[in-house]
Structure 1
């Protein structure tokens, strides 16, 4: 455990996107400095971190430099090179959390699913595929449709291709363009997630969130999830089982399916703070980002208790082509009690790019999550990255 003092230690973060930005914001009140490594100069996290090193996620020289300036290393993106992190840890003695071995398991979705299945974690039926014939065999076994997934690199729906029939298999495999796996299509009632934390000799889970996706991109998270107590208990139990498989301290975003028969199946795991946990900044006693800082340092975890029912919605680029990022019409958000705007500091708005989020919390239980969801959507739809003259319809 890192000695507790203030001002405290320095966390080196591989990746400087919005997750690194919010991690630095959460670490600062603890007296903890954050230095980020990112290939984009003046990345989103740079403005709120002590410093940025400009370099790739697998740049060994830069990661070594980061380790020389930090007490612990972590990462906010799965593109961090696990082999480099292992060598740097061995050579410098600077700990890395979560463990690079966990990153190696997560990096390949097929390896991830096999490890979880071997540990008894419930997952949809799956198999690796190398050819169109393999997809045909999967359809024969599971029925159509099936979900074809890139084993590496997929994010925000990229690399996931539904295959409705054998006739679509060849085009789907070409679209994935690399090593792939097939999963049985899950007949689910809703998608849910648990933000779980592995600390120094302790674990914690946040209340279960309900996630609403469109075009494979997360749009809203509702907390508490509109599920039965039995499903919520099962989701937490699955999350605890997942932590048993993962090595190293930190926050894990655990995405789950609630099936139509009330069962819970694991979808995917992110070994870092997760989009579906952004609600914790206002909605929980301790945010997922503060928890991650505490966990990787070996400090005691904070309370994961719910302050109030909360919903969050992503602000996505509602533009037809890339342009300078300027969010317009934010007045309604700023004027609304218990609404909070989070801007990610990205300089370019792209179609459906995550640019920020808005959270809305209930007032002492006076509002249902359904009302909160309706209200936060109204706030979101009032803002835009387009100019009035564009006349294009928002895709948020």
Structure 2
């Protein structure tokens, strides 16, 4: 394998913060990125070779991207798998992960069925299209239950708790389309594993504990504050998930550790959802591991050897979210406290506007004491504000 200047080019559908961090990771490898995103001067634009302005599902934009790249990938599930598949056939530019994997993951019911059929442990679930079907399913699963839109939901969007029969009609109206209902899992903690599929290789980053409020990820703690047994079981489940995926890349695998044992162990591990791309719960790897999830994704889609997933030090990251009441220009105050704190790392995503709970960046810290790190990084994050 050789390197030239310019080096290989990766075309990325999507140019948000994940595209930005992919560009930052690709540059030291001599790899160039071209992104396609409908927002002019998107967050990735300052750190990549070029941006094509076009929709995630616009086939002509994807085709132009493919003509400029050695391989295509995506950093958002809104990419059109059918368009990606057609473009790959017409141009000969491969797509990783495979469009079929994206197609499966875009539909939460199809995703759950595929993984359940593969033997991956999942919460009990049912597909529902009407209020009566929802009530019938909840009678079987028990109340409360969680109703999820089959497509389009992320960061808690499209998820509606159903506490009793009287909630069913309003829940179906809120989801506004085909849905899936799951048993409400009583969990000890939420976990995430960044899985890696290379050219004949598979690996995982250390198991991460994820802390959510209002169904949005707030903090990530690595390694997870769980027993060795639980972490090993989570890794095993993640590897089983990878075996059901097609194509190369990094996958964000979200899991539950149940509060009560289901199989004689400390607590069963159940799959929640999969993202076929780098994930918010893996941002800590930038400082926390010898190879970040973003470098790993670039390596994987190009078919180059995977990097080590070994952790450097215990690491905690905290998301910087919009704390405003309405959409406005993004002007953040308080960053001096982060920049003046040893071992604290500020990541700014370059978004021009902020609105309530929008992900605007993150803060990462490394050290020895995970509980202490969690408190310190939370305090630093909470000192940042967009309020004017």
Per the shorter chain, which TM-score range?
A: over 0.9
Q: Determine if contact 1:4/1:299 at 8 Å carries over to the other structure.
A: no
What is the correspondence of 1:154-303 to structure 2 with a 5 Å cutoff?
154-260=153-259, 261=261, 262-303=267-308
Partners in 2 of 1:4 and 1:116 — Cα distance?
38
Partners in 2 of 1:13 and 1:247 — Cα distance?
18
SS at match of 1:356: strand
What is the correspondence of 1:59-70 to structure 2 with a 5 Å cutoff?
59-70=58-69
SS at match of 1:218: strand
Q: Does 1:26 align with 2:31?
A: no
How far 1:267 moved relative to its partner?
Answer: 0.1
Residue in structure 1 matched with residue 324 of structure 2 by the alignment: 319
How far 1:137 moved relative to its partner?
Answer: 1.1
Could you tell me which runs of 5 or more consecutive residues in structure 2 were left unpaired when the two chains were aligned: 262-266
Partners in 1 of 2:238 and 2:314 — Cα distance?
21
SS at match of 1:193: strand
Q: Does 1:143 align with 2:148?
A: no
Q: Which digits, 9 at most, give the CA deviation of each residue in 1:83-136, with x for residues without a partner?
A: 000000001110000000000000100000000000000000001001111111
How far 1:4 moved relative to its partner?
Answer: 3.7
Partners in 1 of 2:269 and 2:299 — Cα distance?
29
Q: Which digits, 9 at most, give the CA deviation of each residue in 1:282-340, with x for residues without a partner?
A: 00110000000000000001111010000000000000111110110111100111100
How far 1:142 moved relative to its partner?
Answer: 1.1
Partners in 2 of 1:330 and 1:4 — Cα distance?
41
How far 1:6 moved relative to its partner?
Answer: 4.1
Q: Does 1:97 align with 2:96?
A: yes
Match of 2:3 among 2, 5, 18: 5
SS at match of 2:94: coil
Partners in 2 of 1:289 and 1:112 — Cα distance?
24
Partners in 2 of 1:252 and 1:280 — Cα distance?
14
The 3 A distance-change label for structure 1 pair 197 and 4 is farther
Q: Which digits, 9 at most, give the CA deviation of each residue in 1:186-219, with x for residues without a partner?
A: 0100000000100011111000000000001000
Match of 1:346 among 330, 344, 351: 351
Q: Determine if contact 1:253/1:269 at 8 Å carries over to the other structure.
A: yes
Q: Does 1:333 align with 2:332?
A: no
Could you tell me which runs of 5 or more consecutive residues in structure 1 were left unpaired when the two chains were aligned: 388-396
Partners in 2 of 1:272 and 1:139 — Cα distance?
32
Size of the alignment, in residue pairs?
A: 381
Residue in structure 1 matched with residue 264 of structure 2 by the alignment: none
Residue in structure 2 matched with residue 370 of structure 1 by the alignment: 371
How far 1:348 moved relative to its partner?
Answer: 0.2
Q: Which digits, 9 at most, give the CA deviation of each residue in 1:119-178, with x for residues without a partner?
A: 000000001001111111112111100000000000110000000001000000000011
Q: Determine if contact 1:211/1:218 at 8 Å carries over to the other structure.
A: yes
Partners in 2 of 1:55 and 1:201 — Cα distance?
34
Q: Determine if contact 1:310/1:361 at 8 Å carries over to the other structure.
A: yes
SS at match of 2:22: helix
How far 1:41 moved relative to its partner?
Answer: 0.3
Partners in 2 of 1:293 and 1:76 — Cα distance?
12
SS at match of 2:331: coil
SS at match of 2:60: helix
Residue in structure 2 matched with residue 130 of structure 1 by the alignment: 129
Q: Does 1:361 align with 2:379?
A: no
Match of 1:304 among 286, 302, 309: 309
Hey, which bits of structure 1, 4+ residues long, moved more than 6 A? none
SS at match of 2:347: strand
Q: Determine if contact 1:18/1:344 at 8 Å carries over to the other structure.
A: yes
Partners in 2 of 1:6 and 1:339 — Cα distance?
35
Partners in 1 of 2:326 and 2:372 — Cα distance?
33
Partners in 1 of 2:2 and 2:279 — Cα distance?
26
Partners in 1 of 2:2 and 2:273 — Cα distance?
34
